[in-house]
Structure 1
Amino acid sequence: MNWDDLRFFLQVARTGRLTQAARALGVDHATVSRRIGALEDAVQAKLFDRSPRGYALTEAGQRLLPAAEAIESAAMSGAAAVGGRQHALSGAVRVGMPEGAASHLVTETAALLCDAHPQLELQIVALPRSFSLSQREADFAVVVTPPESGRLRIRKIADYHLRLYAARSFLAGREPRSLDDLRGMRGVGYVQDLIFDKGLDYVAEIGGGLSPQLTSTSLLVQLELTLAGGGLCILPDFMARRRPELVPVLPEQTCLTRAYWLVLHQNTAEIPRIRRVAHAFADAMRQKLAEAEAQPPDSAAKAT
């Protein structure tokens, strides 16, 4: 077997298409096809099912994937050590994380990392979806609900709190005094059937009959809708407390607790650039969340 063919195998497995794999590898698609064919001949097994939709791993391909990733990980770690780059990070690191955490908790750290390591490329994917680390959709992930299976390393970062918030203009003259007062008031929240993480399905936990009428898959859109006077919205304290236009509503009764978790794949967790970026992000999030928790919430009645 030509071990270099595994690079082509991994790229096709991750992209599902020859053209995308070829672009990433800097070759033409015919070269990728030829190298995949050579690998299949060497292992005497069909590794991909070809169709108009792309390339999907066969059962044999699924069995080869973790071994190929382990070899890739060992090669990358070895290159970093031999090349003396333990302190100077280079290459791409992709992290999948919720957009609230991405936009409010790690931006400064990301900029500082790139200042310190000019050859480092950080890709922050803040989409309302889950990420497969085994398929290398991300090098590591930050999640609200930790996965229950897989060859993963999972570590809790920190708890954070959410409360019901609204714009001062929305509350003027109709500040709720109890949870029952929330009934009939317009809510802002997630599109119910598109909630990608069960940890974000929290409206029912508030009670009081709150029902979102303005909804979005984006937490940042929800924030802007709330700022525009759209209604009552459950927001993380670390986001809402940056906005003086927002006030907490029944802060003691509507307080919810969630946690962020750091998830790495066992095959790549010790690659220096991945490990150090992951730990830097986790440390930054922990510090930012602690700062937010140190700010006591004001009541809506007191603020209006």
Structure 2
Amino acid sequence: MEWDDLRHFSAFVAAGSLSGAARTLGIEHATVARRIAALEARLKLRLIDRRGRRLVLTGEGEKVAALAARMAETMRAVERLADGARSDLAGEVTISAPPAYAAHVLAPRLVPLRARHPGLTLRLLGELHAASLDRREADIAVRLSRPEAGELTAARIGTIAFHLHAAPAYLAATPREEWTFIGSAGVMAGSAQQAGLAKFVDSHGSGESGFSLQSDSVDIQAALAAAGGGVAILPDFLTASRPDLVRVPDQGPPITREVWLAIHTDMKNAAPVRVVMEALRGV
């Protein structure tokens, strides 16, 4: 039995679909299906029930999945141990961060870092979900709250302030009682800044109807506001150099979010991770 076949099966179980496993592994979904079929042939067991529209594990598949998960975690621990002992400034370091923060704050800092250390390959992922450092989805995670779960080492590197913004022409032409608002959708709908905006909307008297436009992207919210779509709550790092957006007057104190860097504790001594962490601390 090949470990690679088991690894593909384990990725399928974790993702819940062939396409999800393919995205995790960076391959075609047909390759995942072929590897799982090869594993079934070697074990002489049917691990997945393919009769319905949705692929589900058989009883034997669930048992093998549990064993495969433990083996996968052991393999990741071995890889972390080896990578954590690296002293050379070479290899790949993956950073996961909220998309807008990754694009507007981190990306400009990583280019000169890469120039100083040409042996490094830096992967910057803009993600709304919290990447798993245990599963090596990222080496470094930037999060807007202190991570609590897992064997992680975390450091607070600053705060982000959010203010209400709109297009200057919109504020000039629209009476305050007629404002509409641009809200968050998807994962961001539960964010602290969205809660702050909802509180402002309630006090303003617009209610749910006040949210005329919604998006799960801060950049899209900013574009909607700049086009005259209404008032949005946006991070200062995004609006500081945009003359097409201005702060709404008399809005009260800003909403603030802490910014944290997190790594798996096994990786804290890895030279490539350390040098990237130090660069990001300077943000």
TM-score, normalised relative to structure 1: 0.69
Structure 1 vs Structure 2: percent identity of aligned residues?
A: 24
2:277 aligns to what SS in structure 1?
helix
In structure 1, what residue type is equivalent to 2:90?
Answer: L
Which residue does the alignment assign to 1:187? Answer: 181
**Deviation for aligned residue 1:203:** 1.7
Q: Which runs of 5+ in 2 are unaligned?
A: none
Alpha carbons 1:159, 1:259 under 8 Å: kept: yes
Alpha carbons 1:164, 1:254 under 8 Å: kept: no
1:124-163 equivalences under 5 Å are 124-163=124-163
Which residue does the alignment assign to 1:262? Answer: 261
User: Aligned partners of 1:32, 1:116: CA distance in 2, in Å?
Assistant: 43
Greater helix share, 1 or 2? 2
Which residue does the alignment assign to 1:61? Answer: 68
Alpha carbons 2:97, 2:141 under 8 Å: kept: yes
**Deviation for aligned residue 1:51:** 5.6
**Deviation for aligned residue 1:221:** 0.7
- Alignment of 1:90 with 2:84, yes or no, is no
- Alignment of 1:71 with 2:78, yes or no, is yes
Alpha carbons 2:40, 2:47 under 8 Å: kept: no
Which residue does the alignment assign to 2:197? Answer: 203
Aligned-residue CA RMSD (Å): 3.7
TM-score, normalised relative to structure 2: 0.74
User: Aligned partners of 2:224, 2:122: CA distance in 1, in Å?
Assistant: 30
Alpha carbons 2:164, 2:251 under 8 Å: kept: no
2:165 aligns to what SS in structure 1?
strand
**Deviation for aligned residue 1:68:** 2.1
1:105 aligns to what SS in structure 2?
helix
Deviation digits for residues 185-218 of structure 1 (CA, Å, limit 9, x no counterpart): 1111212x54275334332243424632111111
User: Aligned partners of 2:137, 2:189: CA distance in 1, in Å?
Assistant: 16
Deviation digits for residues 142-171 of structure 1 (CA, Å, limit 9, x no counterpart): 111233322222221111211101111111
User: Aligned partners of 2:184, 2:237: CA distance in 1, in Å?
Assistant: 18
C-alpha spacing 1:267/1:51, structure 2 compared with 1 (3 Å): farther
In structure 2, what residue type is equivalent to 1:223?
Answer: A
Deviation digits for residues 108-153 of structure 1 (CA, Å, limit 9, x no counterpart): 2211122223332222211332322222222221111233322222
Bigger Cα displacement from structure 2, 65-74 vs 8-17: 8-17
2:136 aligns to what SS in structure 1?
coil
**Deviation for aligned residue 1:35:** 9.0
C-alpha spacing 1:280/1:226, structure 2 compared with 1 (3 Å): same
C-alpha spacing 1:138/1:209, structure 2 compared with 1 (3 Å): farther
Deviation digits for residues 216-235 of structure 1 (CA, Å, limit 9, x no counterpart): 11111111111111111101
Q: Which runs of 5+ in 1 are unaligned?
A: 41-45, 81-85, 176-180, 285-304
1:216-231 equivalences under 5 Å are 216-231=215-230
User: Aligned partners of 1:273, 1:32: CA distance in 2, in Å?
Assistant: 34
C-alpha spacing 1:136/1:87, structure 2 compared with 1 (3 Å): closer
1:236-247 equivalences under 5 Å are 236-247=235-246
2:109 aligns to what SS in structure 1?
helix
2:73 aligns to what SS in structure 1?
helix
C-alpha spacing 1:23/1:250, structure 2 compared with 1 (3 Å): closer
Which residue does the alignment assign to 1:214? Answer: 213
Alpha carbons 1:194, 1:217 under 8 Å: kept: yes
2:80 aligns to what SS in structure 1?
helix
Alpha carbons 1:163, 1:237 under 8 Å: kept: yes
Which residue does the alignment assign to 2:252? Answer: 253
User: Aligned partners of 2:163, 2:26: CA distance in 1, in Å?
Assistant: 48
Bigger Cα displacement from structure 2, 262-271 vs 96-105: 262-271
